[in-house]
Amino acid sequence: MTQSLRLAAVAAALTAVPALAQSPVRVTAATPEAAGEYLLIVAGCHDCHTAKWAEAQGKVAKDDLLLGSNVGYRGPWGTSYAPNLRLILGRMTEARWVEVLTTADDGEGKPPMPYHNTARANPEDLKAMYAYIKSLGVKGERTPRAVPAGQEPTTPYINMVPVVPKP
């Protein structure tokens, strides 16, 4: 087999493997901020990153949005916390935001953050989310650091380990 045929065969094999493709679909709105606001709601970002979002059925003052939570998510990975996105984006570039959400390369990458979903997002939608969060301004405090597996957290937490009932 010639070198060019080998290369063609390798290229064909690689394209046959299903990839985690980014979405060709994009949300449009009057402004990027409006699209970002919508996406953060329907993607469920507030469920973890805005305290009391679920209890208030989404009726949380704009000034209190996306400040993170001190309630942890505990599982085999340890205990992770939803960070204050307004603080994070105060020091993160748009390009880095898109990179983190499409590669899970944030230094933590722990559940329940669905990086497997954000990796498929259209980069323009992620930029709209960034624009909306930035429009809220920097506010709030840092949430707790992740607690390694085997260590007891000092904050309230949600146990994310399934329990199998006894027969």
Q: Which two tokens stand for residue 91?
A: 């020091």
pLDDT at 115: 87
Q: What is the pLDDT of residues 90-139, one digit of tens each?
A: 999 999 999 999 886 544 578 899 988 898 999 999 999 999 999 999 99
Residue 59 has pLDDT above 80, yes or no: yes
What is the average pLDDT score of the chain?
87
Tell me: pLDDT of 60 over 90: yes
Tell me how far apart the alpha carbons of residues 99 and 106 are, in angstroms, rounded to a whole number.
Answer: 9
**3-class DSSP state of 158:** strand
pLDDT at residue number 108? 55
22 pLDDT band, cuts 50/70/90, is confident
128 forms beta bridges with none
Number of C-beta neighbours around residue 89 at 10 A: 22
Asked if 37 and 46 count as a contact pair (C-beta separation under 8 A), the reply is no
Per-residue model confidence (pLDDT) at position 103: 85
pLDDT digits (tens, 9 = 90+) for 108-119: 578 899 988 898
86, HSE (Cβ side, Cα atoms, 13 Å): 18
Q: Which of 56, 108, 104 is nearest to 77 (CA)?
A: 108
